[in-house]
Amino acid sequence: MEVSSTIPKKHARIEIIPLIDIMFFLLASFMMVSLSQTTMKGMKVSLPVGSSGETQSKKDYYSFSVDRDGYLYWDKDKITYEDVAAKLRPLHVTNPDAKIFIRADNEALHGNVTRLLDQIRSTGFNKIAFEIKSQAAAGVPAPGK
């Protein structure tokens, strides 16, 4: 014998909208965390501002930094100018197409940067780029605006 109830019988429903909201939140969170975990190889220096720079891929590269006092850094390790060729020659043998990025402080002496560039070229590397700060990042209005 079946007992009837005055309460209407409802079937269970799975609400998918809150699930989608949670998934988008997790996706955005993971993206923000992964972007904040990118590491910069070079030392922090005050880069000069330029308008003609292009963004380059930083895949398979080596980084040198010259600070305002003329000290030279390989990634974040302090080295001398004479050590540059000794560090790059074995790397040129294994990967001659690697890029070299030079981060020179805005107030670094031209002679120090030229000396570093000469040392790099003597090892056979030809893909050398100078890092600059874009005008948009520096807060400088674009020309003509």
What are the residue boundaries of the structural domains of the chain, listed by start? Answer: 49-137
Q: What is the assigned CATH class of domain 49-137?
A: alpha beta
DSSP string, 16-78: -HHHHHHHHHHHHHHHHHHHHT----SPP--PPEESS------SSEEEEEE-TT--EEETTEE
Q: Which two tokens stand for residue 26?
A: 């997790």
d(CA 98, CA 93): 11
d(CA 38, CA 74): 18
pLDDT at 141: 52
Tens digit of each residue's pLDDT (9 = 90 or more) over 34-86: 877 655 666 667 666 766 656 666 667 888 999 889 899 988 889 998 999 99
Residue 1 has pLDDT above 60, yes or no: yes
Q: What is the SS3 assignment for 4?
A: coil
Q: Which residues contact 80 (CB under 8 A, 6 or more apart)?
A: 72
- pTM for this prediction: 0.58
